[in-house]
Structure 1
Amino acid sequence: MTSFEYIVINSNNIQIGNGEVSCISQELKGSITIPNTIESKTVTVLGKYAFDGCNISSIILPDTITAINDYCFRNCRVENFSAPTSLVKLGNYAFSTAFIRSADFSMTKIEKFGGVVQFADSLLTNITFPETLTEIPVWFCKRCAFLENLKITKNIISIGASSFIDCYRLKYITSESPFFIVFEGVVYNQDFSVMHIYPSNCSTELLPTVRSISSIKAFSGADLEIFTLKIKIKNVGPSLFRRCPNIKRIDLRCGNFKSLPSGSFASCPLLTELYLPDSIENINSRSITDCPLLNTLYLPMSLKIVDQEGVVYSNITEVYYCGITDVEGILLASVKVHVTPQYALRKFMGRTPVDTNYQCESSICEFVYPDVYKCQSVAQCGYLTSQISKSFIYVFILM
């Protein structure tokens, strides 16, 4: 019988591991089974770091375990995990950077996992949630590059920020929850005013009812090459186009948001052209970062401030500006600035323009007023999308 390092929590309960040492025993290999009792006391907790880095391939837990603490299976080689029915807590980074492929919580009664970042950077391909679950934590599956399927169970009412960012292979999403509606593969909120998750293999247009894009996943990891926004989005979260492997051109001129959050365009290796919304006033720290081929940036007339680190680890060589006033911030000496004939100042962001004859391009935006378009069902939403898009098209000439 395998012996385990453990501590006595109280007169009735045992914790596996002391909560301080990574991997309770380097001798643990292959398949192991955790007993339900030790010294006539019930084993109820897997301690912090208990199997962190352990070379075990599978583990069977008794139906007495109520908590799996922080970092418990981090870097662990367990590939398939079935949670015991008694489990109520899954701690921070519990399976982060682990070799886990499948995680099944369907037999538990968990409502909230009680931690965050549980599966970040793991090899997870499939996860099954219990029907009792009400929340998915923040950063839950960030950078789960092999996750392909996701089922949102019926009682989930909240999904935390960045829960599924950088999930490059997330293609198939279903939802039983009335709070998350899947239409043409894309996940929206109840009234289709918020877009939450855009799957990696998708190319569909956003519904014209959308006014916000949340930070659950947004377009992160999407397999798009060219994206043109055609509706008046008012709010966006961080990591809007984070780690999109094939995106080359992004045109957001139809957007109506004023601030560009951190990480909006991050680690897009093929991105070369970026058009920002005409409404943008602030480019915040690291809004545009690690896009090595990004050489052309189009700045709107509304822009007021570019943070000192607003654009970093990119190779901007050409900046085109549609406004008539200078913008707070300094461009690199190597950047060539193009302005319109209406720009009367000698310098723009510290650089002397090389061209004063730039003509701002026009853009066509489709816009539907919120009070015109109200979806009561997915079917109705699909019908109204086609009908109203035909009837209510407004052309905005962006100068």
Structure 2
Amino acid sequence: MNKSKIAMIAAITVLSTAGLMTPAQNTVGTISNPTAITAYAADSVYTGNGYQLNYTVSGNSATVTGFKKTSTAATVKVSIPAKLGGKNVTKIGRYAFHSAAISECTMPDTVTALGEYAFTNCQNLTTITLSKNLSVAASGGYLFTNCNKLKTINVSGNMSDSSFLTTHIWVLNNCTVQGTYSANGYQLNYKILNANNAANGAEILSFAKTSSAASVKVDIPEKINGYDVKKIGVSAFKGAAVSEISMPDTVTTLATYVFNNNSYLTKIKLSKRLVDSTATGYLFNGCTNLKTVVASSEMDPAFYRHLDYNWITDLTYQIIYNDSYALDYKIIDNAVTVKKFHKISSADAVKVTIPTTFRGKDITTIGDHAFCDAAASEVVMSDNITTIQSWAFNNAKAMKKIVLSRNLIWNAAGDLFHGVEDTLEQIVVPPSENAKLFALSHMNDIKCLWPYIKQVTDPAAQNVYNSMKNAARITNPEINWNIPASGWAREEAKYQIAHYIHTHFCDYVTYDGSKPALGTSYCLSTGYGVCGTMARSYLLLLKTAGFHDDEMELIGAPGHELTGIKLFNEWYFVECTNSDEDSFAMRYQNEWYTGTAPGSYDGFVNRLPNYEEYYYYTGGAVTFDVNANSEAALAERYKAVYPRGDVNHDGVFNNADRTMMDQYRAGANVQPNLVMSYVRKQLNTNAPSYWL
């Protein structure tokens, strides 16, 4: 055994008998009797500046086994080399620096293990730089016992074993850990005050970009070397070339100027534990391109005031609810619009509850495409929602239930619920007129609502019909409202009722082209409709009067709809957007389109291939090969020669034509030259396509 080793063991024995080896209450490792230390064989010596290190080599690794000060100075600074004897230094052995007169020690990142008592009783040690590859499993206990002056621990990078520090430095009072956290394209400098208490957490001090890119995205870790990241310090990201920042929910404090003049910053995710009282000023000063803020609904709402700068405009708030989903909000004209839904949870069923307010402002609108393709199983609106914009729930096939706001109002937006007609299973319509009319007008294609719509529509039709019938009993007592079962009397009663209802229909329903999405039920409930709903409403009134389904038709056209009714075994057009006499029973009129000058709307009725419906087409838009006896062929033949309604073909339309038609309707033996329609689409008035 060499003399230096014998001297070290003797010194340890004296210290032990003097009572200096009593460790703090460290639970890692067991206390060994220093007098039992076995001498190392064949130790080699490395000479540093004022000191020597003893070491051994085994295989490809070297272990530091002892220290000797050679300087006359009271203490020395030690830098352990990465290699000794040509091998990586992987371990600092048991008692290697016990009671050593060192003030600072730096170890290389090759070191993975520290033996028991490696730095015990180094009472002059103030600063140590640890290897980032140290392992708890490979190291012993009582590493820093009685190192009372050790106040600074440097770490060169991200420790491979994040539990090493919290396991071994709790015995060091008022100790600060500082170092650099490295990630893809950037580094974060940090410190941990009073690191002996793991609850104190880490503070981010500064940022450095290591990428050649103009800017980087920063994901601040939840923990650094075992400590929660709790604070981002003064000016930490000031002027930083950072486009996006995500901070963990461990952060509770943001210091002054933390993101000051970060002109690259476009998006930031805030910690849900931020509170206004712990944040100082000018946090986002000069962040002129900040457009998206992600935050939890649990965050202190008062904190948002730090974003109220004149240069932060058009800001989107993405608010996370229960770690299940997020809603994007925009504040527009002092109200809030839901702009987008994001599913976060991996669960199949996600229930979304839209709150009443955000930042003290009412959430009033669900924006266009907000829930488009959304994987939300249920959506519950607050009663502050008044408006839903176009395509808001387009193709949201995962949605099975929706609860409407009682204050929803109709708007001109279209296709709000396109694609969910067959998949939505439940619609809750609150007991309010607004909600009812919204559902009737915007949701009438959704199958699960059809029973509700029919429950509304049938009584509405009955009410209008009863009102008309009661008025007619005074003004037109000759009308027989009890339609006979068959024969000429049935046809005569049908004609009188159909004519009267048509004549007075527009007293009850007004054409309103600003509301093209309205359903029949809305038309009858409110008295406003468009061609399609007015045509259906007219047929519903005839159905209520006693017309059979095979005596009524709904005829579609590009941009228009009208009806067909069968009277005296012949079919007639009835235009329902007005109550003009010429709009009723237009068997002799080819160009029936209301408001178009005679002769200028060249159209025909033709059956589409593979469809059981008939549509009215403009001759100039589509070319069809039609049968020579069809209405289309007759229209083409007559349109250039005879004026509209010229049923006697004398070249003019006058009272003589009207007289002939009156005679024809009355069953007289006259033969007007008619443009026949021959449409034969039968309606099932119990089917949704009829009463929607």
TM-score (norm 2): 0.28
Select the structure that is richer in helix.
Answer: 2
Q: Which has the higher contact order (CA 8 A, sep 6+)?
A: 1
